[in-house]
Structure 1
Amino acid sequence: MSEFNPTMQLAYDYLESTNTVVFLTGKAGTGKTTFLQQIRKQLPKKLAVVAPTGVAAINAGGMTIHSLFQLPFGPLVPGGIEQPELHYNVEKKGLLASLELLIVDEISMVRPDVLDHIDLILRNIKGSAYPFGGVQLLLIGDLSQLSPVIREEEWSILRPYYTTPYFFSSLVLQKTPYVRIELEHVYRQKEQAFVDILNEVRNQQVSAENLSLLNARYIPDFRPTTVDNYITLTTHNGIAQKINQELLEALAGQEYEFSATISGEFPKDAYPTDTGLKLKIGSQVMFVKNDGSAEKRYYNGKIGKVTNIAGSTVFVQCGEDDHEIVVEAVEWTNVKYELEGEAIAETKAGSFAQVPLKLAWAITIHKSQGLSFDQAIIDVSEAFTHGQAYVALSRCRSLSGMVLRNPIMAANIIGDPAVARFNEQAKALQPDQSRLNHDRERYQLFLLTELFNLSELKTLLQSFEGLLPDLQKEVTEVAEKFVRQLKSERSQQAASYFLEKLRLAIEDLYRQLPELIGTSKDIAAKADRLMVWLMNRVRLMEAFSIQPFSTNTYLTLVQSSLKTHERSFLIALSAPVNEKLFLQFIEWREKRAVMEKVMPNMVLTEKTLKVIAERLPATLKALGSMKGVGTQKATLYGAELIGMIRTFQQVQSGTGMEQGQLF
């Protein structure tokens, strides 16, 4: 990956060629978020992204941990529930059974009991004794930033089991080999003197000289000019709201209110801005989303001033930019993960549409995490918890762009000794090439075990009473015994045995498919999933019945199984209204995925394409309103899709191409 620096490349190599748990850390501004975005685009593993809070989940483009794993919000006592996944439906179990990589963003805010519960759930669902059931975890975050929110009564319940409230105290990580990779090159700040100050604040060891240099930015009674774009970062939400309300009311002129449109599931704690956003001309605002257009006119955290308001459109001038930015409502998506075949697809659970702005004379330090500012007024005189001062100061790109509302005292820089101890001890977890090679060998042994781990087959068969009865005794039970006594030299012989049994199962299932599919759409979908699983596992057994097992061959075969169309004969049995058009969409999606270097389901899911083939939307507006598409994807792909629809209709009707508008 040429765009990665050497440390990022090491992290990518670990994710690509091992299943070792990786804790990716680094100072603010070292590119952790950028790395996450690249991983989502480039890594071929089946992955899901989660975060501890709604806002963090939306920013990371994933789900909250509690939503994906359906966890209660209270303390989760280890050993309290042996099978917390019992209430999951078959689809949820199938999704988690297919998971290869779980990315947890803002890991510094995750409690240890939550991580232990995830471990228990994944081990149960995967039918594996490996930590997290063999699923690789990428834990991203900086322990010097915000810590877990845990009340005293909750900690009194968890204290007997954990030495600290941080994720690294989880029982699973106490017994699991993992690596800590630290990104060190700072991209946000360019001044070495400022970087040095931030490093000392991060380590709670600020020298008198650097504290004096920092406090030189204290300017009593500072009032920014109307052309400046300063934002105040403060410790308490009430203070930020008071500043914003007072300054909005002080502006002359009409007040305009913009109402958000919310549909489906979108948690209130994840709302990116106000549902009733009040603005006046002259309001200082901050963009709360990156511009999804090719022009990239704005980014999350960019500050500007409202220069005009016309209907539903807001005009914003940012600093000395030559042109105003024309701003209209955009959509945020609350993601859910669903299993389609053997691929994990992102689907839209809900949406929040609003002008992507919020009043920005002031925000809380907590809400500033992950953002960067050119000009900021900082007040940490009332800092009350670990990491607040560091988060606030590190949001600034330069020392000269920072103004302190009150001088900073050493007492304002609050740290946690437990974090300092862990950071010092964890230096031994930084891997080198030798450790990477060792972990690659461990991964190969794990994948060999996975080849003969047929527990997912048992889960899939639960939906069908009496279906394929011989599989339980002749396949799944034998596989469980073989895995317990796994010997690599016997793997080819074992693959040949299971190959024969699975081929017979496919023949038997194929004879029963018409009857199963006629039962209900739900049963048809489950039969489709079972058949896909069997065919992909047969392909693996075929390969390793004639050659020794290797990691590269296994991973290549697994990835190719996601791109084949062997589901097409099942599609024919439960064909959508316009099967030929649907198959054209599938072929088009493959080409787009190659062009964009993404997994096909990141273009549009198979489920969504089926609906499009059935409904035949005639305009971009109609296409964009469909579940799983949305305005952004309709803009990107609409012309091609509607073009294919019209050509299909022309062939079907035998008439000339209808002339019409896309909009």
Structure 2
Amino acid sequence: MFLTGKAGTGKTTFLKEIVRQTSKRFAVVAPTGVAAINAGGVTIHSFFQLPLCPYLPDVKELVTEYQMPERMRSLRKERVKMLRTLDLLIIDEISMVRADILDAIDDILKRYRRNDRPFGGVQVLMIGDIQQLPPVVKESERPYMEQVYSTPFFFNSKVLQRLPYVTIQLEKVHRQSDRIFLDILNEVRSGMPSDAALNELNKRLNPGFVPPENERWIRLTTHNSQADSVNEAKMNALDTEEATFEAQVEGIFPENAYPAETRLRLREGAQVMFVRNDTSGEARYYNGKIATVEKVKPQLIVKDETGESIVVTTEKWENIRYGLNEETGEIEGIVDGTFEQVPLRPAWAVTIHKSQGLTFDHVIIDAGAAFSFGQVYVALSRCRTLGGIVLTTPITRRCTFTSEEVSAFESSREPADEVRLKLSAMSNEYFTSTLCDAFDLQRLRYLYNRVNRIYQVNLSNLYPDQADRFNTVGAGNTALAGLLAEESGNSKESVPKTLVGIRPLSDTAMKFQKQIRYIASTVHGGVAEDFPLLRERVTKACEYFHKELRPLASFAAPLTLIEIDDKEVKKAFKSASEEFLSELRFRLTLYEAVLSDGFSTKAYHKLKTDNELSEERSLKALVRSLISTPEKVSDSEKSLRHFDKLSAPPAQRPEGQSVGEPVEPLALRQTQGPIADGSTSSPSTIRQAQGPDGDQSTYTGSQHPELVQALIDWRREKYQSENVPAYIILHQKTLLAIADIAPTTKEELLAVKGLGKSKCDKYGDEILEIVRKFVAANTL
């Protein structure tokens, strides 16, 4: 959404009200430090960690930080979490945001939110007036920018060219009430003032104007040097008591964002302007209020235009960054630094740029050197009345030039009635899209394939049965459903006759999304969220997907708890498994919540955020949460028992045939990569052993799973104490072979393939002691 309006229509007030009222997880950003401080937000570059260079990936001859590989991995985990859980992004002063910066924001949000929709699916509210200050493009960057964008304005960004968005214009001007003056301002704003408007303005021309003693006039200039020169000369002309006020800066506060001077020199009689609203609650002053210094010692006292004396003390500005609250997980502003100073600046003159957003009663305007379109309009619109303006140079059409692209954009704005209809339609579309997201299982399918790919390529030699079973998760299996019912103690009637795999489930989900969109398209003039047929279909869909995913989760989760020697494979498998199980848990939690309380976009985003920020994202915690069945099972053990029987022994299957359909992509099993020791192991039935912290691990190639665990515990102590990889102590394949044979003499131990004499001499006694204890305890 683009919220716009002429100067004085209340855009900043609207922004602050949105921030006050919204329950969404939001961030406020602005193109400059001063604008960000004024809006209570942070700069765009700071929030998105953008480098200070153009974002032009299509320009091959321009190599910037964006093209560097490390850019893809530069954001910290906390910032990534923040981006993934962001609901609303508010961009203030959008007129100064370049098109390439908006595209960079779009790219980052898509990438880190793993969502190909514009801005990664985040709602974006852009606020500003494109007829005011334009974006800044360095001359050295302009040739490259012109290869991609017709103009640098935000509305020419690629993302907005593809994205349908609504423009809402605030019409009522609160700053001015004189109809004649408002008409003149509108003509100047358009860049095409009539002769009558220019004549009326130039009646205010008075190059030698000297302000009356009893009135406070402020001069608006186009350049900083002009304003500084006027203020310095006026201050030096005063032969009165002087005082210097030093700012106190603590923590991190960039100099280019300082809201006031660090060394403020004031003399009694100086004309000053407040640069901050009164935060005491007494409303004694506001940003832009003009006053005269009455005393500088022992207290700083100023007198406003009504003759009231105001004791001025310091105000504190905060430089914030957005972070996650550790306790609540909410996005909140964290104070990085503070700037404390009396909220005043010398105000005989100020630049037009710094006057943006302010209101004055009397202004002297020198706009003859206007260097960017919009400056004259900003200057004139600062004043409440035409009678409060004095011009030192005449205003001509050359001063009020505009951009053809801006004019075309302005003229393309839709009528208010169409905007209302479009807003209603977009509101329904947002609800529908969010509802479709709730039944989008493509990411679950993708994450399953990642885990399965590692299983089939790197682990199928060592864990052939687990690899077969995990492969079955993709397609489902009738026999698996019956065994699951038998082993879980439930009747066969209480579980599905067939476990539907993730691939057919995701296909069904895609069909249901089309059904959602069709039903929503039949809602005319109402709210899709309230449509009874849609609510009914959503309830039935939640029942179906929850019923199918619940046993699938119980089946798949324990298969991720396996021992892996190779560090790279272990890291990749653990990371992929955690993402897969986390997504699986989110889907189950979501469907349970909808069945309980119905669907709402607010509840959906909260559940998604809670899952993203959940501290229980470790593999073991995820497995526990997915295999628990509170009504029937109090721990993991019972849920795992059925795995002994889930796969027919390999000897009973045709050679090379695995349970279920092949992994995606086809023939992946034919390109098996090496495991830690490059060896293979003979397939056999799966056994379970109690792992650390009461977790279950699933092993293959052994008739003695408890001995497997005992040997793994011993190996862990050894490789941690010797600070070497696990396979240096004992390869997994060798460990499993020892557990299967259970040797009790050194001769028997040396016969184990993969265990050489040197390793037997070094560790043989310890291994044999473990085996002998196991044999004695189990009367083998």
CA distance 1:434–1:220, change in 2 (3 Å): closer
Specify the alignment match of 1:35 in structure 2.
14
In 1, Cα distance between equivalents of 2:169 and 2:604: 33
Amino acid at match of 2:29: V
Aligned residues of 1:263 and 1:351 also touching (Cα < 8 A): yes
2:300 match: secondary structure: strand
In 1, Cα distance between equivalents of 2:20 and 2:584: 28
2:296 match: secondary structure: strand
Match status 1:440 vs 2:427: yes
Aligned residues of 2:431 and 2:601 also touching (Cα < 8 A): no
Match status 1:241 vs 2:228: yes
Aligned residue among 91, 98, 103 for 1:104: 91
Match status 1:555 vs 2:591: no
1:298-377 matched pairs, under 5 angstroms = 298-311=285-298, 313-322=299-308, 324-340=309-325, 341-377=328-364
Aligned residue among 521, 526, 544 for 2:594: 544
Structure 1 unaligned regions, length at least 5 = 1-21, 509-528, 571-663
Cα drift, residue 492 of structure 1: 1.1
**Bigger relative contact order, structure 1 or 2 (CA pairs below 8 A, ≥6 apart):** 1
Aligned residue among 19, 22, 29 for 1:50: 29
Calculate percent identity across the aligned residue pairs: 42
Specify the alignment match of 2:567 in structure 1.
none
Aligned residue among 492, 496, 510 for 2:546: 496
CA distance 1:398–1:347, change in 2 (3 Å): same
2:12 match: secondary structure: helix
Cα drift, residue 184 of structure 1: 1.1
1:152 match: secondary structure: coil
In 1, Cα distance between equivalents of 2:109 and 2:227: 41
CA distance 1:428–1:482, change in 2 (3 Å): farther
Specify the alignment match of 1:657 in structure 2.
none
Specify the alignment match of 1:63 in structure 2.
42
Query: Rg: which structure is higher?
Result: 2
Amino acid at match of 1:316: V
Tell me the alpha carbon deviations over residues 125-166 of structure 1, each in whole angstroms, 9 at most, x when there is no partner. Answer: 121121111111111111110101102221211211111110
Tell me the alpha carbon deviations over residues 498-534 of structure 1, each in whole angstroms, 9 at most, x when there is no partner. Answer: 87489979x99xxxxxxxxxxxxxxxxxxxx999999
Cα drift, residue 43 of structure 1: 1.7
Aligned residues of 1:389 and 1:414 also touching (Cα < 8 A): no
Aligned residues of 1:178 and 1:429 also touching (Cα < 8 A): no
Aligned residues of 1:108 and 1:145 also touching (Cα < 8 A): yes
Aligned residues of 1:285 and 1:359 also touching (Cα < 8 A): yes
Amino acid at match of 1:492: C
Tell me the alpha carbon deviations over residues 44-63 of structure 1, each in whole angstroms, 9 at most, x when there is no partner. Answer: 21110101111111111101
1:305 match: secondary structure: strand
In 2, Cα distance between equivalents of 1:213 and 1:398: 13
Match status 1:94 vs 2:141: no
Match status 1:258 vs 2:237: no
1:25 match: secondary structure: strand
In 2, Cα distance between equivalents of 1:187 and 1:145: 17
Tell me the alpha carbon deviations over residues 619-644 of structure 1, each in whole angstroms, 9 at most, x when there is no partner. Answer: xxxxxxxxxxxxxxxxxxxxxxxxxx
Match status 1:140 vs 2:162: no
Cα drift, residue 545 of structure 1: 3.7
In 2, Cα distance between equivalents of 1:544 and 1:559: 13
1:367 match: secondary structure: helix
CA distance 1:202–1:554, change in 2 (3 Å): closer
Match status 1:72 vs 2:51: yes
Structure 2 unaligned regions, length at least 5 = 60-65, 456-466, 475-500, 517-536, 559-578, 618-780
CA distance 1:384–1:308, change in 2 (3 Å): same
Specify the alignment match of 1:227 in structure 2.
214
Specify the alignment match of 1:414 in structure 2.
401
CA distance 1:244–1:127, change in 2 (3 Å): same
1:287-298 matched pairs, under 5 angstroms = 287-298=274-285
2:204 match: secondary structure: coil
Cα drift, residue 332 of structure 1: 0.6
Aligned residues of 1:134 and 1:446 also touching (Cα < 8 A): no
> TM-score, normalization: structure 2?
0.61
Aligned residues of 2:440 and 2:510 also touching (Cα < 8 A): no
> TM-score, normalization: structure 1?
0.71
Tell me the alpha carbon deviations over residues 471-511 of structure 1, each in whole angstroms, 9 at most, x when there is no partner. Answer: xx889999977765535457414651587489979x99xxx
2:120 match: secondary structure: helix
1:266-277 matched pairs, under 5 angstroms = 266-277=253-264
In 1, Cα distance between equivalents of 2:580 and 2:249: 36
Aligned residues of 2:244 and 2:266 also touching (Cα < 8 A): yes
Aligned residues of 1:372 and 1:397 also touching (Cα < 8 A): yes
Tell me the alpha carbon deviations over residues 537-559 of structure 1, each in whole angstroms, 9 at most, x when there is no partner. Answer: 76532122467x64xx3425656
Amino acid at match of 1:402: I
